[in-house]
Structure 1
Amino acid sequence: MIIVKDNYFHLSTDKTSYVFMINEAGLPEHIYYGKKIGRKDGSLNVTALRERIGFVPGNTVNYSPEHERLSLEAYSSEYSALGHGDIREPSIIIVHPNGSVTSDFIFESHEVLDELSEDIEKSKLPHSYDENGSYEHLKIILKDRVYEEKLELHYFVYPNEDVITKSVMLKNEGDAEIRVERLMSGCMEFPFTSFKVTSFRGRWAHEMNRCDNIITGGKMVLSSSQGSSGSRCNPFFIMSDMPVTENTGRAYGFNLVYSGDHYSALETSAYGKTRLVSGINPDSFSYILGAGEMIAAPEAVLSYSEEGYNGLSRNMHHFIRKHIVRGYWRDRERPILLNSWEAAYFDINESKLLKLAKVGKECGMELFVMDDGWFGRRDDDKSSLGDWYENKKKLPNGLKGLVEKINKMGMKFGIWVEPEMVSVDSDLYREHPEYTMEIQGQMHSEGRNQRVLNLADPKVIDYLYEKLEAVFSSANIEYVKWDMNRVFSDVYAGNLPAENQGEVSYRYMLGLYELLDRLTKAFPEILFEGCASGGNRFDLGMLCYFPQIWASDNTDATSRIDIEKGYSYGYPMNTVSSHVSGVLNHQTLRVVPIETRFNIAVLGVLGYESNLLDFSKEDIEKIKKQVALYKEWRGMLMSGDFYRTDPYEKDQGLIREGLAGFYSGNNNTDSFTIVSSDKEKAVAVIVRRMAVANDSAQKLYVNGLDDEAEYHLYNIKYDNNIKEFGDLINTVSPIHIKQDSMMQNIISKFVHLKGDEEDVVLSGSEMKNAGVSLAPSFGGTGYEDGMRLFSDYSSRLYFIEKI
C-alpha cells in the first residue's frame, strides 16, 4: 500500500513500513524503515516521528539562509548529493559543465502508478516484475535547483513478500553533456550506529562464507571490482540489531538486481546515525551523459523481518521466486542431470558420452549435459573459445547425431558454453582481434588462458547471438550451462573514445543483458543455468535470465554445507545447483559417504557429476534409490520454505561473551529443514562434520510446522556395514578378521548390523521447541542394534508428514 498525505509518503507491506517526507527545504528526508506502524488507514504523525533539530550543530554547515536550522551532515537523507555541507557518502556525483560537483536536487512532483514506468523498461537493466502486470509503484521526480538535471526515484512495494525495491534514473535536460561519477541505487539513514553487518565473501571453490562484523563507528565498504558481482563479496548482505538469531531479532536485508561491479557503504556520522548507500561501484564507473540522455542505476531490494535471519530469508526467497525468476522454468520441477565434467573433463567423445549417459538413464536421471571440450580443437583450456562448432573428431555424427541418440535413450540433452570469452588460439580471435577487451600495443594479463570479449560493442553482441542461435537451434538442446571463467583486467573497449572508457564495465553489463534477453526469448523453453567459475556471478541480475546458478565448482559435500548455507540467507534453494560427485573429491581429496553427498545435494537443485562407469554396483544401487526418492519429494523440496536450525545459537552467543561453561562438541553439526507451503510435509537434514568421542545424544529441531498439528517423522533405514568398525569387530568376533581382507569382504556381504530407525508422532511445537531425541550414536564404547553410526561427514534425512 502506498499512502501519500500532506508532505509524506508511507509505503507499507504486510508487516513493514517505509516512510519519508519532503521537508521544508524541498529535500527528501528519510523517516523510518522497520516494523509496520501507523493507524488502520496507514496515516502517521510524521511531525512527531521525524528528528527535531533546534539549531545547526557545532561546526556543521547550514543548508541555506532560508533554512538556517538545517544541516545536511546531521539530517537523514532519502537520496544524498554532494555539496551544501553533506560530507558523508553521497548517492550521486555529477561533474557539471562548469566543473562544479555540487548538486541540489529538490522535490518537483510525484505520481502513483499501477504499471512499470516506460523509462525503466527502456533502461536495458533487468528489473523485478509482477506476473499480473499490476504494480504498487511510486514515482518521485527531483530537479536540481541550478542545473537542468532531473532524478527519478521509483519505489515498488511487494506486500506479501515484505519487500520494497528502489530504482533511480538521471536525465540530462540541459544543452551540454555532463559526467556522472556516481549514481547509487539507494540511500537510507538509520538513527543509531551499532549494527552487526553480515556479508558473504570467499574465493573460487570457497564461496559464500558468512562474515559478521560490528560497526559502531567509521565506515564499512562491501564491494566488487572484478567485472562481475563476484565471489569475493556477494551483493547480498544483512544489517541486524544485536542480539539476533536464526529465529529471533530484527534484521534488514539488501541486494541489487545487477551482475557487475557493486558497492555498498555504511558510514556512521558524528550525530549518531548510519547512512547506507548501495549501487554500481564508482571505482569502475564514469559516464558521459549527453544532452537529452538518461541513465539508470540497478534496482535495489530491501526487506525487513523481526523473525531473525530465517524470517528475512523467507522474505527474500518468496520475492525472488515470484518477482525475479521468470519464464517457462520458474515454477516447474527441474530435471535431475548428469554432467560430464568431473567424469571426463576435456577427454570426451561420442562413445564415452553415450556409455555415461546410459548408466545415468538406468539410474533414473533425466538430463545429460555435455560440458567443456566439444567444440573447435578444444582438448584443454588453451584454445578454441569462440569457435562454436562441433569437433568432428570427438563427435563424428555432429551435435545433432549425439543429441538424437541421447533423446532416444529417453533423456534430455544439455550443453556447455562460455560465450563471453575467447582464446587467442581460436579462429574468432584470428579473424576479429578487435572484439576483445584489451589495450592494443600493451601486455595483456591472462586468466585461464583466455580473454574477455568486449560486450560493450554492439557488433560483438550481434555476432554472439548469431553463433549461439545457430548452435541452440541445430539440435534438440533443452539445457544450456553458461560459464564465465575469469575476472576483468585491463578494461578497455576499442569501440569507445578515450573519454568514454569509464563506461566500459557498465556498458558491458547492458550488452550482456541484451544478449541474454534475446536468447531467452528466442529459446523460452531451454533451461539456462548460470555459472562463473562456479559462484562468481550469483546475483539477482543473472536470476532474471537463469532460473538456477551453479553454486560452486567445489563439489565436496562438507564444503558445500557452508556454501549452500551461505546462499540460503539471501537466495531460494531452487536457484542453487548442487551435484553429487565421486570420491576422492576432485577439489579436496576428501572421502564422504555417498549418502551425505546426496543429502547435501537435495538442499538445492539435484544433479550428479562423476564417472558412474567406475562406481561400484552397491553405489549404483544406492544412486537409483536416491533418484527415486528425490523424484517423490522433488516438488516440495523445490518450492518449500527453507529453515536453518542452530539449537546451539544461544550457547554460541555465550561463548562470544566469554560466559559459557562446558560446551558439547555438537557445535559442528548442522541442520536444515524444508517445509511445504501448506505445512503438510517437511524434509529435515542433519549433518556432522567431525565426530566427537563420548557424545552420543543428539536432538533434531524442526522449524516451520503447524505448532498444534501432529506429524509422523521417519527416516530411511540403513543397515550398518561391519567394515565401518574396522578392527573393533574383533572385540566381539569369535575369529580374528583382518581389515580389507577377503574374509572381511565376504562377511560384510552377509552380516549387517541393524541401523538407527526413527518412527515417531509429535506435534509441530514439540519438534520446534523441545526437539526430537534421536537414537544414540556410537561414542567410543558399546554397540547395540539400532545405534546411530554418526562418524565424520555423516548425515541423515528425516521425512515429516502431517497426520
Structure 2
Amino acid sequence: MPIIVDEQSQTFHLKAKDTSYILQIVNGYPVHVYWGQPLREDSNLSNFSVYSHTNLDRYAQEYPQYGSGDFRSPAYQVQLSDGSRITELVYQDYRISAGKPKLEGLPSVYVESEDEAETLELTLADEYSGLKVLLRYTVFAGCNAITRSAVLINGGQESLRILRALSASVDMEKSDYDMLYLAGAWTRETQIERRPLGPGSFKVESRRGMSSHQLNPFLALLSPEANEDQGEVYGFSLVYSGNFTADAEVDSMGCVRVSIGINPFEFAWQLERGASFQTPEAVMVYSADGLGAMSRTYHKLYRTRLCRGVHRDQERPILVNNWEATYFDFTADKLEAIAKSGAELGIELFVLDDGWFGKRNDDTTSLGDWVEDRNKLPEGLNELAGRINRQGLQFGLWVEPEMVSPDSGLYRRHPDWCLHVEGRRRTLARTQLVLDFSRQEVRDYIFDSLSRIFSSVPVAYIKWDMNRGLSEIGSAAAPPERQMEIAHRYVLGLYELLERLTSAFPHILFESCASGGGRFDPGMLYYMPQTWTSDNTDAVERLKIQYGTSMVYPISTIGAHVSAVPNHQVGRLTPLTTRGDVAMSGNFGYELDLTKFTEEEKDQVAAQVTRYKRFRPLVQQGEFFRLKSPFAGNETAWMFVSEDQREALVCFFRVLAQPNPPQSWLRLKGLNAGYDYVLEESGEVYGGDRLMHMGLILPPLHGDFTSKIYYLKAEQTSFSS
C-alpha cells in the first residue's frame, strides 16, 4: 500500500518504489517530515514531530502562507475583497484514492491502471475568507516519483484575487546541497550549471510567456559528493509551458525551502464565488544513486506516462527536412528531388518546412494565412504530397500557428486578434506578433485552418514552431481586472487547441519546436512526444545540448539531425561520420540537400540510415547512461542498454586530437555483471563486470571531431548476478 496513515499522530507516509515521503499535521498545519530512502512501514510514525512551539517561521510547511508568522517565500497568496492579503489555511481532512486524477485543463503524468499509483488529497481551509485548498500528492508504485499540485477553491461569499499559486513547496532540514539547473540561450540550450547553496534565495524562472531557451522548468538539489552514480539527488520538474519559477531559499537556520510553479511575476487570477483554480503539476524524483538514476526515473515516467497517443511506443521515422537545403526558395520539382534522393538512401519521411503558404518568400509575411502558395506549388500541397508518397516517403509539414504577420490577410481582417495593449506599440520579433490564444474565436480559426489542411493532405507529421516570446501581454477581449490572467490563459488556450487537434488527427506525429529548444518542457510533451532540441545542428555543440537535455527528458523526445558543413550556425567543419553518430543519439534525421551528396557521401548516409534502423528501438526505448561529460573535458560518452541488459550501444566522441595521447579506458554502465558480451566489431568477448569496472580500451582516433560507436550483445550468462 503506497500511502500509510497513522490516525493518532496524523502522519502520512507515502511510499514510492524506493522512496519514502512523510508529512504530518502539526497544530493544524501540514508539515514536511522526511523525503529520502525508504523507511519501513512499521516505523514509529508517532515520534516525528519536533514542533513544540508555534513559531511558523520554523515550521517546514507543505503549503506555506505569508503574513501570519512565516517570513519565507509563500506557496500561495490571495487578496480578499477588503484589500487584505492574510489567509491561514488549516487542515480539515484527507482522502486517499486509487490511481491518479486528471488535472482540469492542464497536462499531467497519468496512469493506465489504478494499481500503478495512489493519490492523497489534503483539504485545507481558511475560515475567515472561505478559501479552500486541495493539496494533491500522487505516489507511484513502480518508480521513485511523487507528483504534487494544488486546487484553490473560493468557498466564500465574495470574489478573491489569487496573487500567487505555486504547485509545490518542500522544506528540507538542511541546506548542505548543490543546486543543478539547465541554462542557455537560443542555439545554446540546456547547458548544465551547478553551484552550492548559500544564505538567501536562488531562483530560475521565465518571464517570456514560454518555458524559454534561457532556463528550463527544472532544478535539482544534490548532496555535495553527488555525481552521475552516487549521492542523493532531489529533482523538481514542472509540467508547464509558460512563465515559471523554481526557487531554493536558505533561511537563517540553515534550512532550504524549494518551491516551483507558475511565476507570480505579472500574474493574478480573479476567483469568483464557487470557482476553482488548478495549478500545474510538479514531478518530484528522489535518487540515492546520483544524477543518472534520477534521469532514468524521469525518462521512463515521461516516455511512458506523460507522452501519449499511438506514436508513444512506436519507432519514430527517419526524416529529411528541406529548411537548410532550400530555405524559402524551392519548387515542387526540387522538393521531389530531395525526397527521391532520400528514398534511395532509406529515409522514411520528407518534411516541408517554412515557405509553403500565403506569399511567404521571407519571414516578413503571411503567418496566419494557412493556405498553400500556388505560385510556388501550382498543383497544391496535395499533389506535392502525392509525389512524395510515390517516392516511398511519408509527407510532413511545418506550421507556426501561434503567430501572425502584420503583412497578412488575417491581421488586416483582425488586427485585435494579437496580444496587445491599446495605445501601446506592438513589438515585433522575427517581424511577427503573437496571436491571442486566450480567445476562443482565435483558437477556433486556427483549428479550422489547420483541420482543412490535415483533412485534405496526407500529412503524417507536423513540426509545430513558435519563434518568439510574448510581449505586450494583454487581450482586447478581457476586462481590466483579468488582464494579468492572460499569460496563463494563453497557455491554457494552447493546451485546449492541442488537445482538439491531436484528438482529431491521432495519426499525425506532432513535433514541438520553439526556435529549437525554447519550449522543451513536459507540458508540450503531453501533446507532442518529441521536440526539436535546438536550431544549432553543429555536432560538437550538440554534445552539450543533448547531454544537458537528457538530464530530464527521454532520448525518444530529442530531435537530432545531420546538417551540412560548414555548419550554418557556427561554421565548423565536422566529418559526416561524427555528425551522424551524434544525431543517432536521438530522433534521427537530415537537414540538408541530399541531391548534392557525392557517391561516397551517399554510401555513408545509406550506412547511417541502415545502422539507425537496426538500433532505433534500443536508442528510443532503452535505458540511457551518461559516461563522460562534455562539460568536463575533451571527451563525451554515453550508452543505451536494453531493458533485459542483453544489448548495449556505446557512443564515444573526442572533440580535439591530441599528440601522442595516453591509452584511454571507457568504463561502461548498466550491464549485467554476470553476462558475457560480444563486441560486434571484433568478435571479442568481455564479461559485464570487466566492462563496468575496467572498461573498454579506446582506439587511437585521428583528427579533430572524431567518434566511435560500439555494439555489445550478451552471449551467455556465466554466473548469477
Q: TM-score by structure 2 length?
A: 0.97
CA RMSD of aligned residues (A): 1.3
2:78 corresponds to which letter in structure 1? I
- Contact preservation (8 Å) 2:561, 2:583: yes
Q: Deviations over 1:547-595 (max 9, x none)?
A: 1000000000100000000011111111000001111110011011111
Residue 2 (str. 1) matches residue 14 (str. 2): no
Counterpart-to-counterpart distance in 1, 2:541 and 2:608: 21
The CA deviation string for residues 297-354 of structure 1, in whole angstroms up to 9 with x for no partner, is 1000000111111111111101101210011000000000000111111112201100
SS class of match (1:626): helix
Alignment partners' CA distance in 2, 1:70 and 1:767 = 56
Partner of 1:125 in structure 2? 106
Distance in 1 between residues matched to 2:172 and 2:43, nearest whole Å: 19
2:108 is equivalent to residue 109 of structure 1: no
| Alignment counterpart, residue 693 of structure 2, candidates 747, 755, 769 | 769
Q: CA deviation at 1:599?
A: 0.6
Of 156, 160, 174, which residue of structure 2 is paired with 1:192? 174
2:721 matched to 1:797? no
Q: Distance in 2 between matches of 1:82 and 1:98?
A: 17
Deviation at 1:696, TM superposition (A): 4.3
Cα contact 1:198–1:238 (8 A) shared by 2: yes
**Equivalent-residue separation in structure 2 for 1:178 and 1:360 (angstroms):** 59
Q: Does 1:89 align with 2:88?
A: no
**Equivalent residue number for residue 312 of structure 1:** 294
Alpha-carbon shift at residue 115 of structure 1 (Å) = 4.3
Equivalent of 1:36 in 35, 38, 41:
38
Classify the secondary structure of the residue corresponding to 2:20.
Answer: strand
Aligned partners of 1:261 and 1:284 also within 8 Å: no
Aligned residue identity for 1:21: Q
- SS of 2:474's partner is coil
Select which of 306, 317, 321 maps to 1:324: 306
Partner of residue 698, structure 1: 664
| Aligned residue runs from structure 1 range 422-461, under 5 A | 422-461=404-443
Partners of 2:474 and 2:683 lie apart in 1 by 63
Q: Report the Cα offset of residue 116 of structure 1.
A: 4.1
Deviations 1:127-156 (A, max 9, x none): 111123554111111111322110011111
- Hey, what's the Cα distance between the residues in 2 that align with 1:76 and 1:205? 40
Task: Give the Å deviation of 1:98.
Answer: 1.7
Q: Which residue of 1 aligns with 2:319?
A: 337
Deviation, 1:252, is: 1.0
* Distance in 2, Cα, partners of 1:440 & 1:689: 52
CA contact (8 A) 2:465 2:512 kept: yes
Question: 2:698 and 2:186 mapped to 1: Cα distance?
Answer: 37
CA distance in structure 1 between the aligned counterparts of 2:167 and 2:374, rounded to whole angstroms: 49
Q: What is the letter of the counterpart of residue 670 of structure 1? A: T
Partner Cα distance (2:471, 2:557) in 1 = 29
- Whether the 8 Å CA contact 1:241–1:250 is kept in 2: the answer is yes
Once the two structures are superposed, residues 761-799 of structure 1 have per-residue CA deviations (whole angstroms, 9 ceiling, x without a partner) of 111111111111123x2xxxxxxxxxx42x211000111
Match of residue 152, structure 1, among 117, 134, 139: 134
For residue 510 of structure 1, what is the aligned residue in structure 2?
A: 492
SS of equivalent residue, structure 1 residue 127: coil
Shift of 1:441: 2.5
Report the counterpart of residue 170 of structure 1 in structure 2: 152
Quote the Cα distance in structure 2 between the aligned partners of 1:49 and 1:22.
Answer: 11
Where 2:189 maps in the other structure, the secondary structure is strand
Deviation of the 1:44 alpha carbon: 3.1
Looking at structure 2, the residues matched to 102 and 193 of structure 1 have their Cα atoms a distance apart, in angstroms, of: 29
Which residue number corresponds to residue 520 of structure 1?
A: 502
Output the CA distance in 2 between the equivalents of 1:696 and 1:589.
30
Identity among equivalent positions (%) equals 39
Partner Cα separation in structure 2 for residue 288 and residue 166 of structure 1: 23
User: Partner residue of 2:336?
Assistant: 354
Whole-angstrom CA distance in 1 between matches of 2:630 and 2:131: 54
CA contact (8 A) 1:246 1:646 kept: no
Match of 2:20 among 17, 22, 28: 17
- Name the aligned partner's letter for residue 507 of structure 2: E
Counterparts of 2:63 and 2:239, CA distance in 1: 19
1:576 to 533, 558, 562: 558
Partner of residue 533, structure 2: 551
- Find the counterpart in structure 2 of residue 73 from structure 1: 57
Q: Give the partner amino acid of 1:695.
A: P
Q: Does 1:300 align with 2:301?
A: no
Q: CA offsets per residue over residues 229-253 of structure 1, 9 Å max, x none? A: 1111000221100111111111111
Counterpart for residue 64 of structure 1: none
Q: Name the aligned partner's letter for residue 532 of structure 1.
A: A
Deviations 1:732-785 (A, max 9, x none): xxxxxxxxxxxxxxxxxxxxxxxxxx442111111111111123x2xxxxxxxx
Aligned with 1:400: secondary structure?
A: helix
Shift of 1:505: 0.5
Task: Find the residue that maps to 2:54 and give its secondary structure.
Answer: strand
How far off is 1:47 after superposition?
A: 3.9
Q: Deviations over 1:358-385 (max 9, x none)?
A: 0011000000000000000000000000
Moved more, 399-408 or 377-386: 399-408
Q: Deviations over 1:670-716 (max 9, x none)?
A: 1100001110101000001112222141212211000121001234x
Maintained 8 Å contact 1:178/1:289 = yes
Is this contact kept in 1: 2:99–2:111, CA < 8 A? Answer: no
Paired AA for residue 172 in structure 1: N
1:243 matched to which residue of 2? 225
**1:694-733 aligned within 5 A:** 694-715=660-681
Aligned to 2:374: 392
Secondary structure at 1:404 match in 2: helix
Residues 483-522 of structure 1, C-alpha deviation per residue, up to 9 Å, x if partnerless? 0000111111111111111100110011000000000000
Q: In the TM superposition, what are the counterparts of 1:42-61 in structure 2 within 5 Å?
A: 42-50=41-49, 52-54=50-52
Letter of the 1:12 counterpart:
K
| Aligned pairs for 1:653-672 within 5 A | 667-672=633-638
Q: Supply the distance in 2 between the matched residues of 1:161 and 1:614 (Cα, whole angstroms).
A: 48
Distance in 2, matches of 1:696 and 1:388, equals 58
The equivalent of 2:718 in structure 1 is none
Following the alignment from structure 1 to structure 2, what is the Cα–Cα distance between the partners of residues 163 and 294?
A: 26
Q: Within 1, Cα distance between the matches of 2:194 and 2:475?
A: 38
1:161–1:316 contact (8 Å) kept in structure 2: no
Partner residue of 2:197?
A: 215
2:445 is paired with a residue whose SS is helix
8 Å CA contact retained: 2:100, 2:118: no
Letter in 2 for 1:553: D
Partner of 1:462, secondary structure, is helix
Report the number of matched residues: 711
Q: Letter of the 2:459 partner, please give it.
A: I
d(CA) in 2 for partners of 1:496 and 1:53? 46
1:689 maps to amino acid: V
Q: Which has the larger radius of gyration?
A: 1
How far apart are residue 534 of structure 1 and its match?
0.2
> Contact 2:176/2:197 (CA < 8 Å) preserved in 1?
yes
User: What residue ranges of structure 1 are gaps of 5+ in the alignment?
Assistant: 55-68, 653-666, 716-757, 778-787
Amino acid at match of 1:146: Y
CA distance in 1, matches of 2:526, 2:454: 20
SS at match of 1:46: coil
In structure 2, stretches of 5+ residues that fail to align are 716-721
**Which residue does 2:719 correspond to in 1?**
none
Q: Is the 8 A contact 2:28 2:90 kept in 1?
A: yes
Letter in 2 for 1:215: L
Where do 1:479-494 residues align within 5 Å? 479-494=461-476
